[in-house]
Amino acid sequence: MPKRPAQNSIRPWAVAFWLLVWQGASMLFATLWPNGHLLLASPVSAALRLGELAVTAGFWRAIGWSALRIIGGFLLSCCAASLLAVPASRWRWVRELLSPLVATVKAVPVASFIILALVWLDSRSLSCFIAFLMVFPPVYLGVLEGIRQTDGKLLEMARVFRVPLGRQVRGIYLPAVLPHFRTAVSLGLGLCWKAGIAAEVIGLPGGSLGERLYSAKVYFQTPDLFAWTAVIVAVSVVFEKLFLALVDALAGKAGC
Amino acid sequence: MELQVHNLCKSYGGETVLRDVSFTAGPGVTCLMAPSGAGKTTLLRILLGLETADSGTVRIPADCRWAAVFQEDRLLEQLDAMGNLRFVLGKDFRETAASALLGELGLGDVGNKPVRDFSGGMKRRLALARALLAPSDILVLDEPFTGLDGENRARALACVRRAAEKPVLLVTHDEADAADLDAVLLRL
């Protein structure tokens, strides 16, 4: 039986269609106004500009600069959220203590946090901090839910047979938590890149992807704007795929 | 090794489940028989340290090791039979002994198959194998023969009989099990 595409899968023909629409709109703008090509750069000019940028050292430095901070914030947040979910699952007061914090981070607009954080931190640490904040609630709540759904009967069995904690974690907790962790991380990865780059655009730390994006806007270099946007999307997608593959490999090893 | 239980009482929300239960179990099979809901599983849970009694005492040596077949199989579904045994036994796991016992219980050819693909009877026998292989001083078996056909029940009985050099507490509804194991009958 032929494999049916997933409901939200991206089909090449649909991508080609929208690229053509983009190209058409760009050509229309260029025809209607003298500097119309500046209002909407064509996909071809964006791709050509991306090619030019990709051979420069500054391009890779900017990617490295932002990726280091955003991925660093993401990883730190995953560790902190997972570690805090453990006592929160055990003691109600820890859960209650963290609950307003998590609710606040979820409810407050990211721009407010960015501006507030700019008061406390220098712009170079901003994207790391914002990525940390964005990832914390979904990962904390996901891991907490996973621990709470761990089969209590299996834990009793392990207790009777005096199975050491390390083995209980690998055999009972990990298979219960990893599916929740994966869902949370998938959500958090998208959020942390969007919010991290937004923080860089506002904070303008030198050498970051956000700064390049902002400069492109200021100097009306729309091909650059699209090229840098494509780079940000590509880097976030590649990291998401790599990290989720790592989680899946871990889940496979745990037998999930 | 001897297990001594004195005047054990337990109630839940005003409903008495165990009232002054006393018995002594030495080496051999002691068969607990009672109608459903009479507190057999509660008694086993208290003995295993999973619940506390309202009153009464359980006398066992402080370093007593328990092994159990629970009312449910309580297996790690994502692992295979050997993985489940390894999980509980740790450094005490011996592949030869595990394979031999699985073979005796009719599970010789499914050692590497995930437990989630096992039938109910296969899971029950694996849960029994786990309890028999674990180093223990007292063995607690809560209806270990449920869902086993005649041949597999006979195999399981033979393995339990061999383990009866230590105290074995067996919960069953079937008096034939008690008779086949020369068990001391204890009616709650």
CATH number for the domain that contains residue B11: 3.40.50.300
Judged by average pLDDT, the poorest of A95-99, A220-224, B131-135 is A220-224
d(CA A10, CA B119): 41
Q: Chain centroid to CA A222: how far?
A: 25
Largest CA distance in chain B: 50
Report domain extents, chain A. 76-253
Contact B70 A172 (CB under 8 A): no
Asked if A203 contacts A114 with a C-beta cutoff of 8 angstroms, the reply is yes
pTM assigned to the model: 0.85
Which residue does chain A place closest to B83, by CA atoms? A171
For the segment B113-128, the average pLDDT, to the nearest whole number, is 93
d(CA B121, CA B153): 10
Return all residues near B110 (Cβ < 8 A) that are at least 6 apart: B81, B102, B118, B122
For the segment B167-188, the average pLDDT, to the nearest whole number, is 88
Confidence of residue B134 (pLDDT cuts 50, 70, 90): very high
Residue type, A179: P
With 0-12 / 13-18 / 19 or more C-beta atoms within 10 angstroms meaning exposed / middle / buried, residue B187 is exposed
Residue A2: predicted pLDDT: 56
Query: Which residue did the predictor score with more confidence, A10 or A111?
Result: A111
Within 10 angstroms of residue A134's Cβ, the number of other Cβ atoms is 30
For the segment A86-112, the average pLDDT, to the nearest whole number, is 94
Contact A255 B78 (CB under 8 A): yes
| Helical segments of chain B, H only | 40-47, 81-89, 95-104, 120-133, 150-163, 175-180
Contact B74 A153 (CB under 8 A): yes
The reply to whether ipTM tops 0.90 is yes
Residue window 2-21, chain B: list those with CB within 8 Å of chain A.
Answer: none
Torsion (CA) B137, B142, B145, B148 in degrees, nearest 10? -130
Residue A3: predicted pLDDT: 57
Residue A4: predicted pLDDT: 62
pLDDT at A170 over 80: yes
d(CA B49, CA A248): 37
**Taking all residues of chain A, what is their mean pLDDT, rounded to a whole number?**
91
Asked if A49 contacts A227 with a C-beta cutoff of 8 angstroms, the reply is yes
Contact A161 B88 (CB under 8 A): yes
Residue A232: predicted pLDDT: 93
Asked if B114 contacts B70 with a C-beta cutoff of 8 angstroms, the reply is no
Asked if A73 contacts A130 with a C-beta cutoff of 8 angstroms, the reply is yes
Q: B37 is in which domain, residue-wise?
A: 3-187
Counting the structural domains of chain B, the total is 1
What percent of chain B is modeled with pLDDT above 90? 66
Please name the CATH architecture into which domain A76-253 falls.
Orthogonal Bundle (1.10)
d(CA B139, CA B147): 20
Which residues, in sequence order, are bridge partners of residue B31? B170, B185
For the segment A190-217, the average pLDDT, to the nearest whole number, is 91
Which residues, in sequence order, are bridge partners of residue B184? B30
pLDDT at A256 over 70: no
Out of A160, A162, A167, name the one closest to residue B87 (CB): A167
